[in-house]
Every structure is written in C-alpha cells, then in structure tokens.
Chains A and B, each alone.
Chain A
C-alpha cells in the first residue's frame, strides 16, 4: 500500500480497571428464552428439510417423472374462447367482490382494533381476536361450509374470501391507523369535531393510500387462492381445472393453469401500477427518498420567490377546482374502479334470495359440524398429518428466508453495489411474485408425481417474491444516518451492512419471517387438498365424505397451530423490540 497517511497514534490506550468498573452485560431470562426458541425453530426447520428429503437425486427423479408425464400427456389445450371468457369473468368477479366485502367489513373492525381510535381496551381485544380468528380459518373451509348453506354459484366463494380476508385487511388497516401523525386529529378535535368527523377528516386522509395498497395486495392474494376454492365446488377457473385433472385431461388442466398464471401476472401489474401512481401523486409518501428530498428542500435557501398557482383568482373562479392533470387522472381511476366493482358484482350472478333463506339452514348445518370428532381416523394419523403440514411450512420458510435475505439485500437501494444490480434483483422479485404458489404447486405435483417435495419447493419459491420484497423494503427504510456514520469511519460496505443496516431492520425482518411462516402453515394445509401431503388431504376427504365433524376437528387443530405461531410472533416482537 502506498498511503501517504502519517502513522496512526493510538489515543488513550486501555486504562487498567475499566473492564472491572464496567457494568456486567444484562441477560434477561426472557430474551434468552426467545433466542433459544428461535434456535429450536431453525433446527426444526433444518430437520424438516432433511426429513422431506429435498435433495439432488430427488430433483433428478422428479425431472425424469416430468419428462415421462409430458410424453404421456401431449399438448396443452385451452377451453374455447367463449367459455374461457365466462370462466375468467366469473373468477375475477368473485375475487373482486370478495375483497371488496372484506375491505368494507374491515373498516369498523380496524377502528375498534387500533389503539388510538378504539373506544376501550375490551373493544380492542375483541376486534383483534376476531381478526386473528378470520385469518386462522382457511377460506377453503369457509367455502365448504357456505356451499352447504347457499345455492351453487359465486356467493359461497365471495363470502369465504370476504370473511377470511378480513383477518389480514383489518390488521393492516389498524396498523396504518396506529402509525398516523396524531397532530392533525388533535387539531380537528380541538376545533370541536365529533368522533366520526375526527376519523373522516383527521385519520382517513392519512391512511387512505396505505389502505388502498393493502386492498390491492389482498386482491392479488385472493386471485391466487381462488383456484383452491374450485376444488371444493366454487364456480370459476379453479372448478374447471379440478374437473380436468380429476377426469385425467391433463392437457386441459395445464391450459387452465396457464390462464390463471397469466391472470395473476396481469393483476399484479395493474395493482402495482395503481400503487405507484397513487403514491406518486400523494404527498403522504414516507419513503426514505421523500424524507431526504424534504430535508434537502428545507435546508436549501429558497432561491425563487413563491408564486401563486393560479394568477389573479377571484373567489368565484376559485370555487371550482381546476381540472389539473392529477385531478383528471384521479377521476378516471375512480370511474374505472367503480366500473370494475359493479362489473364484479354483476358477473358474480349472486342469488340474493339466498340471504333470505339461508338462515333456516344454519341450525341444520351447524349440527353436522358439531361436536368435533376424528371419526374413523386414528388420532395418531391425524397428528402425524398435522406434523407433516408444519414441517412443510417450516422447511419452505427456511428455504425462502435464506434465498430472500440474499436477493432482498441485493434489491435494496442502500445495499446493492450499483443501481443495475438493484433493478435486476427487483425485477427478479416482481417476476417471482407473479408466480402463484398454489398453481405452481399443482403443476409441480401433477407433473413430478411427488407430493410433499414438490409442494414444499412451490411454497418456498412463492415465498421469495413476498419475503424478498419485504426484506428489501425494510432494508431501504432504515435511517441512513448510522450508515453514513459508519461509512465515515472507513468501514467496508459489508461492515456497514452488518453494523448499521441489518441491526436497524432486524426486528422488521423477524416479523416478516413469522408472517411468512404463518402464511405458509395455512398454505401447507391447502397443499394437501391438491395432493401435496399433510392434513389438507384429510380435510378434503372428510368434506367430500360429508364427515363434517371431522372437518371441525381438523380446523380446530389448524386453528391451534396458527394461534401458537401468532402468539410466538407477538412474543418475539415484544422481546426483540
């Protein structure tokens, strides 16, 4: 090295006795317990990976299986155009209407659940619990119940999606309410506004962009999930696909899978465009770049005097808001949304009469579901199946976590070595997110003939799109100050990454991983329905064999598992604050 720097003089060499006088590091027992629990989960996940036997020989075997499969099946075929359009409209209508129903139901629930708007602690606990409950019961199970109560058609599917989605949407809505700036609401309260007025004027404008983003995100998820509803009899593309596979028309089944895949990608593009436009036009953006921009604007001297936006406005002319580009865009977007919603309701062909008649069927149906029992299955068999489902979820989560940490970091602006790398990995994430994991699972299972391995890999791949993005976002959201400070000490990029970036986002990353585990437990259940092993297989069997008491028992097992994971996640968040 040819540095011309003068020699380094060590400032204040370690004085004796400092180590003795320093306080002992505190080791809180709860923290130790949490670390041990995390370690145990990781070991369990590694064990699951080994147990499920995801290995190279297995992959090669599934590859040769797939080759044989394609020799046997021949070409992929699609339904006729008219039929295809009807099915697509049916599926889209069902998903849109279901998501909308969930969004409407979520508003009051979120209001009650958010700590800053809730009228009291009891309300809060009840609202949060209802949300967790809705999230814990898979929409397939709800659909099974509603299919019994309603005429066939879209209504059972809409209600299933609507009720299940309330879990996630109300939670995200409530979180958004809790993150608002309290100032405006306080000012509005101080002006004598009613509680409802405070909500509409002080809270709603602040949370709206985030709420719309949540609903769009959920809509994507619901479209992906809708295929499973077909397996329990809800009309649409999913039902056609399950028929095709059951009657061994593999070419047609794969054709429909391709259609759903394309739909999911299109929906993803639409919703991400809407999100981008919405965040671009609003001034509520709180990304790090916006903060930087605002800080810069504040510190830079105003070089040009401020001009009024419209010259010489009279009160009369100012009464009408000018049609600026932004307003035109917003209005067009609003009209398009309204059309989409109305169209969704129309094509869903809802039998409104059902709402009047289904009440009479409730007691009759309820009796068939209660009390829970395992019926003809042995308890050990069921526990083993549940264990397999949990293993699939753990193994998939671990694989996703490892891949997402690498991909997500390289997709983060403040970590990627250059903007080309960042754009490349962002694109990769968007592409992966476009892949609906359940469709991937169905296709992999059908063509490889291996249930559990194919299902786990499908879940792991599908998860990367979500977790990779969440990790990239939480890395980008860290305060850039400490990063700058470490750069200023002469630390390398990797040292800045582990010293300032990761510690600031570690809690968020942990939370996201638990969220994925939570999602994966339910997804792993659904995998069983399409032949991926685990408890889902028994769930489908008992429902098709009309053993509804067994369905209840299985749902209770899933519920307990999900609640345990949820509890663990809450505990971890609290301990690693």
Chain B
C-alpha cells in the first residue's frame, strides 16, 4: 500500500479568490477551494460554468487574472521552465476528447506520459528506454488494453481511447489526477467503465482526483465530495455520501436562480428520469 494513506490528510490543492477573464467574459469569479490528499472531488455544473477553466488552472494550462493557485505546496502561476514542468508531471490530466496522437501506436501514446522524466525529444518506440516500455505495458495491462499495444490509437473506440489516456496519465506517476468531462464523449456503458477505473485507481494509489461532470447521478455515484459551479462561482460544496439525486437536484436547482439555467437543469432531470 502507498504510504500516503497512513499520513494525516494534507492540503494538496488550495485556490483562493481565483478569477479568470477571457476578454469581456468572466469564466471564474472568486473561487476558493481546498482539496485534501486522497479526496475524490466532482465539479458539477452546466457547460460554461467554469469547470474546465478551474481544472486548467491547477495544471497551469491557464493563468489566473486574480487570486492564488497552490498545488502540492507550489505557487503555480509563479512557476516556469523546469519547475513548471516538474509540477505538471505530478498532475495527470484527462481530457474530454482523449487527445491521443491518432497516428501513433497505443504504446507510444502511453509512453509520452513519461516525457517529463526523460531528456530530449523522442520520436518512435525505439527512442524510449526499455524500463519505461515495461511500465507503459503494465499500465496498459491495468486498463485492460495490453493486447492493443501496437495498434494505432485512432483504431480504438472512444472508451478504449479514454482508457489509453488514463494509462498515459498514470505513466506520469501523478499525485493528483484531473479529469475534464472524461465521459462526456462516451456511451453510458463505456462511461461507467471509465469512471470505475478512475475511482479504483484513485483508491488503490491514494490519488487525489478532481473530475468535472455535468451528470448529477454520475457525480453522486463516484464522488466523495461534490462542488457545484455556476457562472464561475462555487454555489455548492458538500460530501456526497448519503445524498440522493433529488437532494442534489433540489439544492442545485435552488441556487440556479436564472430561469434559463433552472429550466435547463429541470429538463436534464426529466430526461434522466425518463430514461
């Protein structure tokens, strides 16, 4: 077992007064959030509520307009060069669109997760050391795709591609796993597989997970803690255990006072009820 679970919980992500403007659009509006080691946090919100932007700030893919971002004890916006890359290598990122290199083999895609540990550019399987290849194969085995190692990434189904992306993130030996709508492009069955995999890995390795979702029932099923976002602000933050879908929907609906969004939430609720 990793040693992380025996130590007392510590803060790994600390956002304070985080705001982000894109031109005249406000994507994040004074978000403060603290995440402890080993927590599985689901960010819940509609499209455009700021979930992706929040996650991107934790990995320094976006820089804040105001406020502070502290990850693993580092002041993220102040990082650059080697130290920035060192932080990024400790934070795995899973994208909605998988973002694999389509023309490369599955194995090479997983290996790109180890680039931060290697020096210099790499092109082709031969350019990676054997120890890394073995580890990549082990991670592929874990996500159940060992037999696809030498296939091109774009020959895989969506669910399989996302599992390769998870293997790539694991290749980084991350402390934190960020997942931006990891199942939004998948069918329900693959969604469950991918969410189960993320959850399982998080528990086994003691990873901290921040995952954005827009489906309430998925959030309840997989989260320790649910954080609701609306118009770039935190409107809900509570443990997920013991919550029912109706309760979350109610709270979520009450805070979504704008009629447009309230209707959108309701429609979604009714759609899901009908299924």
CB distance from B261 to the nearest CB of A (A): 9
Q: Are A498 and B88 in contact (CB under 8 A)?
A: no
Residues from chain B with Cβ under 8 Å of A25 in the complex: 105, 125, 149-150
Determine the distance from Cα of A502 to Cα of B112 in the docked complex, in whole angstroms.
13
Check A500/B101 contact, CB under 8 A, given A11-B170, A487-B61, A490-B115: yes
Determine the distance from Cα of A138 to Cα of B3 in the docked complex, in whole angstroms.
73
Is B134 on the interface with A (CB-CB < 8 A)? yes
Is B73 on the interface with A (CB-CB < 8 A)? yes
Q: Are B138 and A486 in contact (CB under 8 A)?
A: no
Residues from chain A with Cβ under 8 Å of B72 in the complex: 4-6
Residues from chain A with Cβ under 8 Å of B97 in the complex: 481
Is A191 on the interface with B (CB-CB < 8 A)? no
Picked from A1, A301, A489, the residue with its CB within 8 Å of the CB of B48 is: A301
Task: Give B205's nearest chain A residue, CB to CB.
Answer: A11
Task: Give B90's nearest chain A residue, CB to CB.
Answer: A5
Check A1/B83 contact, CB under 8 A, given A489-B112, A497-B121, A503-B103: yes
Q: Are B85 and A12 in contact (CB under 8 A)?
A: no
Residues 19-63 of A at the B interface (beta carbon under 8 Å): 19, 21-26
Is B146 on the interface with A (CB-CB < 8 A)? yes
Residues from chain B with Cβ under 8 Å of A8 in the complex: 90, 173, 175
Q: Are B61 and A14 in contact (CB under 8 A)?
A: no
Is B6 on the interface with A (CB-CB < 8 A)? no
Instruction: Offer 17 A-B interface pairs, CB within 8 angstroms, sorted by A.
Output: A3-B83, A5-B87, A8-B90, A12-B170, A13-B138, A18-B137, A21-B146, A22-B140, A301-B231, A487-B88, A489-B89, A489-B93, A490-B87, A494-B120, A494-B121, A495-B115, A503-B104
Residues 99-119 of B at the A interface (beta carbon under 8 Å): 99-105, 112-116, 118
Task: Give A495's nearest chain B residue, CB to CB.
Answer: B115
The bracket for how many chain A residues form the interface is 35 or more
Q: Are A506 and B103 in contact (CB under 8 A)?
A: yes
Residues from chain B with Cβ under 8 Å of A485 in the complex: 93, 95, 99-100, 112, 165, 168
Is B199 on the interface with A (CB-CB < 8 A)? no
Residues 123-163 of B at the A interface (beta carbon under 8 Å): 123, 125, 131, 133-135, 137-142, 146-147, 149-150
Task: Give B100's nearest chain A residue, CB to CB.
Answer: A482
Task: Give B112's nearest chain A residue, CB to CB.
Answer: A499
Picked from A10, A22, A484, A500, the residue with its CB within 8 Å of the CB of B95 is: A484
Determine the distance from Cα of A4 to Cα of B86 in the docked complex, in whole angstroms.
10
Determine the distance from Cα of A492 to Cα of B139 in the docked complex, in whole angstroms.
23
Determine the distance from Cα of A394 to Cα of B231 in the docked complex, in whole angstroms.
59
CB distance from A46 to the nearest CB of B (A): 21
Question: Shortest 10 CB-CB distances between A and B: which pairs?
Answer: A490-B89, A490-B116, A481-B99, A498-B121, A490-B88, A491-B115, A488-B93, A485-B99, A490-B85, A14-B134
Is B68 on the interface with A (CB-CB < 8 A)? no
Q: Are A18 and B146 in contact (CB under 8 A)?
A: yes
Determine the distance from Cα of A364 to Cα of B58 in the docked complex, in whole angstroms.
80
Contact with A along B1-43 (1 / 0, CB 8 A): 0111000000000000000001001000000000000000000
Q: Are A492 and B115 in contact (CB under 8 A)?
A: yes
Determine the distance from Cα of A488 to Cα of B105 in the docked complex, in whole angstroms.
20
Contact with A along B64-86 (1 / 0, CB 8 A): 00000000111000000011111
Sample of 4 further A-B pairs with CB below 8 A, known A12-B142, A484-B95, A485-B165:
A5-B72, A6-B175, A9-B175, A488-B91
Picked from B74, B83, B135, the residue with its CB within 8 Å of the CB of A13 is: B135
Is B47 on the interface with A (CB-CB < 8 A)? yes
Q: Are B86 and A504 in contact (CB under 8 A)?
A: no
Task: Give B171's nearest chain A residue, CB to CB.
Answer: A489
Is A118 on the interface with B (CB-CB < 8 A)? no
CB distance from A504 to the nearest CB of B (A): 6
Picked from A18, A23, A479, A499, the residue with its CB within 8 Å of the CB of B150 is: A23
Determine the distance from Cα of A26 to Cα of B72 in the docked complex, in whole angstroms.
42
Q: Are B89 and A19 in contact (CB under 8 A)?
A: no
Q: Are A10 and B101 in contact (CB under 8 A)?
A: no
Determine the distance from Cα of A482 to Cα of B105 in the docked complex, in whole angstroms.
14
Residues from chain B with Cβ under 8 Å of A506 in the complex: 103
Residues from chain B with Cβ under 8 Å of A497 in the complex: 121
Picked from B91, B92, B137, B175, the residue with its CB within 8 Å of the CB of A19 is: B137
CB distance from B79 to the nearest CB of A (A): 10
Picked from A19, A23, A502, A503, the residue with its CB within 8 Å of the CB of B134 is: A19
